[in-house]
Chain A
Amino acid sequence: EVQLVESGGGLVQPGRSLRLSCAASGFIFDDYAMHWVRQAPGKGLEWVAGINWNSGKIGYADSVKGRFVISRDNAKNSLYLQINSPRAEDTALYYCAKGQQWHFDHWGQGALVTVSS
């Protein structure tokens, strides 16, 4: 059974940093692209960043480019999102999602990030 478990969410002050982690199990992690998708309170889904199986292709939404960094450790079956210089508008539930081609066939339960002073 595919499982994706996010951790590292919480309250962060504007301009500080936070790192989200996603522990994956139940599939061959380094066979698949992985993504972060977020959802602000009461809003729709927004793709944040994606990384292919060997980190050779990485992409970001314009809203986070230059501030967020996605990475993965295939030896640890883990995905990461480094959130730098967060803003109030980055407040959201952040989902880790397994890529199948470039859509998402499994999702974690999400990690809540609240940006506030």
Chain B
Amino acid sequence: EIVMTQSPATLSVSPGERVTLSCRASQSVFIDLAWYQQKPGQSPRLLIYGASTRATGIPARFSGSGSGTEFILTISSLQSEDFAVYYCQQYNNWPPLTFGGGTKVEIK
């Protein structure tokens, strides 16, 4: 099983700041990596797939990078609606498909 590790667990930021979230895989997943956003009381929403391709309707302030075992989700200028929990997920090798533990982005 590929283990996904996200850091930090919680990030306190102010609106307008640049945010960088990290996701590490226990073995290479090439670029088979997706990012999701989940707001309280809502279902997750796909942000990024293929490590760097934005999903339909996702604002350009969200970007993904990386390959192999190290991945980054960047929010260029945090908006109020971006406060949420972010999850990465590998889909290179299944079963199982695996998620990271999540990073909570909260208001500073």
Contacts and interface: CB of A to CB of B under 8 A. Distances in A.
B43 A47 contact: no
B96 A59 contact: yes
B32 interface: yes
Interface residues of B, number: 24
Interface in B20-49: 32, 34, 36, 38, 43-46, 49
A44 B5 CA distance: 12
A47 B49 contact: no
Given A44-B87, A45-B87, A105 B99 contact: no
B43 A103 contact: no
Interface centre among B32, B91, B95 (most CB of A within 10 A): B95
A2 B96 CA distance: 25
Interface of chain B, main secondary structure: loop
Contacts of B1: 62
Interface string A44-80: 1111001000000001111000000000000000000
A51 to B, nearest CB: 11
B44 A107 contact: yes
A45 B44 contact: yes
Given A102-B94, A103-B89, A103-B91, A44 B46 contact: no
A107 B96 contact: no
A60 B89 contact: no
Contact of B99 (A44, A106, A109): A44
A60 to B, nearest CB: 6
Interface string A23-60: 00000000000010100000011110010000000011
Nearest to A58: B95
Interface of B: 1, 32, 34, 36, 38, 43-46, 49, 55, 85, 87, 89, 91, 94-102
15 contacts: A37-B44, A44-B85, A44-B101, A44-B102, A45-B87, A45-B99, A47-B99, A59-B96, A61-B96, A62-B96, A102-B32, A102-B94, A103-B49, A103-B91, A104-B89
